[in-house]
Amino acid sequence: MLVSLAENAGFCNGVRRAVKIAEESTEEKTEWYTLGPLVHNDDVINHFKQRGIAVLDNIEEIHLSNDEPERGIIIRSHGVSPELIERAREKGFKIKDATCPLVKRVHDIVRLLSDAEYDIVIFGDSEHPEVQGIAGWSGQNVKIVANLDEARLLGKTAKLGLVSQTTKDEKEFFAVAAALLDTARELRVFNTICSATRKRQEAAWVICQDVDLMLVVGDRKSSNTNTLFKECVKTGVKTFRIMNASEIEADWFRGISKTGITAGASTPDWIIKEVLDRMTDYEENKQEQQETMEQEIQEQSNLEEESTEQLSQEQDSPQVAETSANEESFAKMEAEMAGFASPSRGDIIKGIVIQVLDDDVMVDVGGKSEGIIPLRELSLKDVESAKELVAVGDEIEVKVLKWDDDGTILLSKKRVDSEKELDRLEQYAQEDKIIEGTIIESVKGGLLVDVGIIAFLPASHVDDGYVKNLDEYIGQTLEFKIIEFNRNKRRGSQIVLSRRELVAEEKARLKEHFWQEIEEGQTRTGKIKRIVDYGAFIDLGGYEGLLHVSEIDHRRIEHPSNVLNEGDELDVYILALDREKERVSLSRKKLLKSPWEIVVEKYQEGDIIEGTIVRIASFGAFVEIEPGVDGLVHISQMADFRVEKPEDVVSVGEKANLKILSIDPGQKRIGLSIKEARNDMESQEVEDYLENQEDNE
């Protein structure tokens, strides 16, 4: 037995959106209720009941107090009257409006009709919550007709407006409209039936032409499921209506070779999959058929989500025009509802933002449906939330990407912005103008630059010479020229940048200024650009000078990198200039105190210090007391006894306590004594001991 699944089966966007709002609410600390069943499906209701969202039939059932947890009401997808919403607010409930946007549009229409003093007729089931909600927005002069016979019983009136429950049969609606032509001097008809309902019916009819048996999956309270069931029965094919897989009976399929399945707009995917799983028991190739059906379900689910989950407009209904402007409003509304000037794929249109969530934006672009901008299509820049970029009431330009089955339009603001940026940048390229951009990332071969859109900066064009570390440029805002522009390029970057010429021009200007200002004897601050074995090249702001290794410090430096780091800034002395050869000799040593200056400031004769034996001679030992300054311990000052050879008493590298006997800065000589230091220290220890003895007596 072959099984076929109808297209468009299962959740519509309005129901999917309501379910999403409820799912998100389960993560909050607020205690949430739905005002009436969220959708007409007991399995969905039970699912949310288990997750803490109960159904509240009457808001008067709950009395809020300050010591109780915060509570909120989720308005179901069918919508409710404005009086109920206001009452919930008065009682202190938080409000989340999950009303289907298409139903909200019906609310706007009937309110406009009521303000213009039209009698209103609603084609629908008077017991259905959607119809009751519409009636609540319709004012006093409203009547509900369930069929053609009831429509024919209506009396005469001057002005009459007709709308429909969104899930009704379109042919029946047109028949009712025709019957009302003789009842009013002025009749305004708004076809408010959801296109998703019609498409489900058409898809079910197509399946019915090629199967022996039809299953319609959905809750018995669901109006669109009941309509689907009736449409399938009308085709003459054997049809069963089931709520879930448990209601399937094996006897139905005796002698059946082909079975079709469809589902109402409030039927969740998991129920459809359970039905498909059950059907595999009756198929000739169980595994293959199951995978095929589940793939169809997943593809339809992905298509629904990609096309967007229609979001609600703001909690407060849009302001209705004054009566004097009603004719213009009606003309516009009727044109939209009739589908005049409906945008096509690729069109760029203007719209008004009517709701902003973190991950998408709803836009009113006219017609019977709203458009959705997913977060990924909102901006050329990466953002965490759509609320960072747009607000309700903003007018924006968008591009139409695709139409969903139920009339929702998938839009992109990013692509409009991209085209505008490309127009601007193309003009800059043609006129060879300088642009500004921020480097955001390093990639293979260069850097990515944000110039309104993302452009590429090759490594060879980052500077006028080789750049060792590209990452140091990330985050910098610099100037560039466009060297390649190709709007239609599909691989690689459409825009290629360069700053090589700009850097060279700037360096030439700074160089000229440098040679005009530089003089020997000046002290300048520079940046270490390169370190070599014999010194370091210092950028002085327009020109580089050489700091030779011998001019880095007073002491001997093995290698410049032991003291200096590329990128560091330091003060240097202009030691010499050769203007003909354009050479600058620098000194750091000139700006540092000499080791002997440090010694004279730091030490005095008689001080006991510590030093390191660095060299031994026949007449004594040389001791380093500061880098670059050695003192002499004569052999006679090494010990209290006669010393034959200094190495008998001290060794190179040994630390020693020393007494400064003499300091001669002019001759750069320091006389030291190990013997005197030891005697002074021992005498001090004796004095300290005696003092302690006296203190203890």
495 burial (CB, 10 Å; 0-12 / 13-18 / 19+) is buried
Active-site residue identified among 28, 90, 130, 249: 130
Report the pLDDT value the prediction gives residue 188, as an integer from 0 to 100. 92
Mean pLDDT of 201-230: 89
Is the CA virtual torsion 260, 265, 269, 274 positive or negative? negative
Report the pLDDT value the prediction gives residue 480, as an integer from 0 to 100. 94
Residue 291 has pLDDT above 60, yes or no: no
| Strands lying side by side in the sheet with 119-123 | 142-145, 119-123, 157-164, 184-189
Residue 329 has pLDDT above 70, yes or no: no
Report the pLDDT value the prediction gives residue 135, as an integer from 0 to 100. 94
Q: Mind listing the pLDDT tens digit for each residue in 216-268? A: 999 888 888 888 899 899 999 999 999 988 899 888 988 888 999 999 888 88
Q: Mind listing the pLDDT tens digit for each residue in 447-506? A: 999 998 889 999 999 988 888 888 989 999 999 999 989 887 766 678 999 999 898 888
What letters, b where the CB count within 10 A reaches 16 and e where it falls short, cover 342-368? bbeeeeebebebbbbbeebbbbbbbbb
Q: How confident is the model at residue 330 (pLDDT cuts 50, 70, 90)?
A: low
Residue 322 has pLDDT above 70, yes or no: no
Write down the mean pLDDT value for the chain.
83
Q: What percent of the chain has pLDDT over 90?
A: 31
Residue 543: how many other CB atoms lie within 10 Å: 19
Q: How confident is the model at residue 319 (pLDDT cuts 50, 70, 90)?
A: very low
Contact yes or no for 146/223 (Cβ under 8 A): no
Mean pLDDT of 536-560: 87
Residue 286 has pLDDT above 50, yes or no: no
Fold of 595-685: OB fold (Dihydrolipoamide Acetyltransferase, E2P) (2.40.50)
Q: Which residue has the higher pLDDT, 402 or 304?
A: 402
The token pair that represents 287 in the structure block: 């595994």
Report the pLDDT value the prediction gives residue 220, as an integer from 0 to 100. 86
Fold of 518-591: OB fold (Dihydrolipoamide Acetyltransferase, E2P) (2.40.50)
Contact yes or no for 629/595 (Cβ under 8 A): yes
Say how far apart CA 93 and CA 60 lie, in whole Å. Answer: 11
Contacts of 389 (CB under 8 A, 6+ apart): 378, 379, 383
The token pair that represents 28 in the structure block: 């909050």
| Strands lying side by side in the sheet with 94-97 | 54-56, 31-35, 71-75, 94-97
Range among 274-278, 412-416, 465-469, 491-495 rated most confident: 412-416
Dihedral pair phi/psi, residue 113, rounded to 5°: -65, -45
Residue 324 has pLDDT above 50, yes or no: no
What letters, b where the CB count within 10 A reaches 16 and e where it falls short, cover 618-654? eebbbbebbeebbbbbbbebbeeeebeebeebbeeee
Is the CA virtual torsion 424, 426, 427, 431 positive or negative? positive
Q: Which residue has the higher pLDDT, 684 or 390?
A: 390
Report the pLDDT value the prediction gives residue 404, as an integer from 0 to 100. 63
Residue with tokens 């410090």: 553
Residue 57 is classified by DSSP as S
The token pair that represents 108 in the structure block: 């706007």
Contact yes or no for 326/334 (Cβ under 8 A): no
Mean pLDDT of 188-194: 88
For the chain, state the CA radius of gyration: 44
Say how far apart CA 128 and CA 245 lie, in whole Å. Answer: 26
Q: How confident is the model at residue 294 (pLDDT cuts 50, 70, 90)?
A: low
Q: Which residue has the higher pLDDT, 292 or 165?
A: 165
Mean pLDDT of 122-145: 92
Mean pLDDT of 330-344: 52
Residue 296 has pLDDT above 60, yes or no: no
The token pair that represents 663 in the structure block: 């300091």
Bridge partners of 186, per DSSP, are 159
Residues of the chain with CATH 2.40.50.140: 327-412, 418-488, 518-591, 595-685
Q: Which residue has the higher pLDDT, 311 or 398?
A: 398
Fold of 327-412: OB fold (Dihydrolipoamide Acetyltransferase, E2P) (2.40.50)
Report the pLDDT value the prediction gives residue 303, as an integer from 0 to 100. 46
Worst-scoring range by mean pLDDT, 120-124, 328-332, 538-542?
A: 328-332
Task: Write down the H helix ranges in 32-115.
Answer: 42-50, 82-90, 101-115
Mean pLDDT of 51-67: 78
Q: Which residue has the higher pLDDT, 509 or 288?
A: 509
Residue 432 has pLDDT above 50, yes or no: yes
Mean pLDDT of 1-5: 82
| 272 membership: H or E segment, kind and range | helix 269-279
Fold of 102-193: Cobalt-precorrin-4 Transmethylase; domain 1 (3.40.1010)
Report the pLDDT value the prediction gives residue 340, as an integer from 0 to 100. 41
Report the pLDDT value the prediction gives residue 316, as an integer from 0 to 100. 38
Q: Mind listing the pLDDT tens digit for each residue in 80-128? A: 999 988 888 888 888 888 888 888 889 989 999 998 999 999 999 998 8
Question: Cα 382–388–391 angle (5° rounding)?
Answer: 130
Q: Could you list the beta-strand ranges (E) of 60-212.
A: 71-75, 94-97, 119-123, 142-145, 157-164, 184-189
Whether 314 is catalytic is no
Report the pLDDT value the prediction gives residue 453, as an integer from 0 to 100. 85
Superfamily of domain 418-488: Nucleic acid-binding proteins (2.40.50.140)
Report the pLDDT value the prediction gives residue 615, as an integer from 0 to 100. 93
Residues of the chain with CATH 3.40.1010.20: 102-193, 200-307
Please name the CATH architecture into which domain 200-307 falls.
3-Layer(aba) Sandwich (3.40)
659 burial (CB, 10 Å; 0-12 / 13-18 / 19+) is buried
Residue 558 has pLDDT above 70, yes or no: yes
Q: Which residue has the higher pLDDT, 614 or 383?
A: 614
Residue 302: how many other CB atoms lie within 10 Å: 10
Task: Write down the H helix ranges in 392-533.
Answer: 414-430, 500-517
Task: Write down the H helix ranges in 180-255.
Answer: 195-208, 223-234
Report the pLDDT value the prediction gives residue 697, as an integer from 0 to 100. 58
Report the pLDDT value the prediction gives residue 28, as an integer from 0 to 100. 85
